[in-house]
Amino acid sequence: MSTKGAEALAAGARSAIGSLFQLVRARFGAGTQESAVLEAAIEHPQERWRQAALASALADVMARDPDFATALDEEWRRLSRAGVVAVQGQVVNHFSGTAERVVQARDVQGDIIF
């Protein structure tokens, strides 16, 4: 989510992932420990330990707030049905921007030369 959250910030709230991200950001609030964890995960999406800290913070808030847990689960399911979220073994490709050529691939074996 942190990686997609960073992308959603760039794309704005128009994106489907943006709606999920905004739900979490709104629940965490400003100036809280949870919001600091979220911001750190967005700023450093390659650092797995920050993603784990975000997952832990989400789990804690969801345990304390069943209404939020339900809303988050419903939004995740809506995105999954829309094909925006990949579950294990699936792929969702999304390109936003301008480019002359775009290549997206999965399960490449062997060399690729462009």
pLDDT at 19: 80
CA distance 10 to 18: 10
- pLDDT tens string, the chain, 114 residues long: the values are 656 665 554 443 345 677 888 899 999 988 899 999 999 998 988 888 999 999 999 999 999 999 999 999 888 887 766 655 555 565 666 666 777 888 877 778 888 877
pTM here?
A: 0.59
